[in-house]
Amino acid sequence: MRAITTLNLRIAFGAIVLGVVVGAFGFVRTGALLIAAGTAVIVLARSSEVKGRRRIIESYLPLAIAGVLFALALALPKGL
């Protein structure tokens, strides 16, 4: 797997901020997808930094929340 660089992390943080802004303006599905994707990239980058004892809560819980948010965004109704 390719390493996640600082540029990727900046893009992920930008996607989260853009997702919050887009969601605030009414495009909730798009905002949730952007937030979920950005969060997943950050969690994957941070999980490779954990050395020694693997912390399951800090590693897998945020990734699971991002996955559930992604699935919820896809299950939302189309709108009016």
The residue ranges of every structural domain in the chain are: 6-75
pTM score, two decimals?
0.80
Q: Does the pLDDT at position 80 exceed 50?
A: no
Q: What pLDDT score does 62 carry? A: 84
| Cβ within 8 Å of residue 16, ≥6 positions away | 34, 35, 38, 39, 42
Distance of CA 70 to the CA centre of its chain: 8
Between 22-26, 69-73, 75-79, the lowest mean confidence (pLDDT) is in: 75-79
Q: Report pLDDT digits (tens) over 34-66.
A: 999 999 888 888 776 666 566 677 778 888 888
Q: How far apart are CA 31 and CA 53, in angstroms?
A: 34
Q: What pLDDT score does 60 carry? A: 82
Q: How far apart are CA 21 and CA 37, in angstroms?
A: 15
Q: How far apart are CA 77 and CA 67, in angstroms?
A: 18
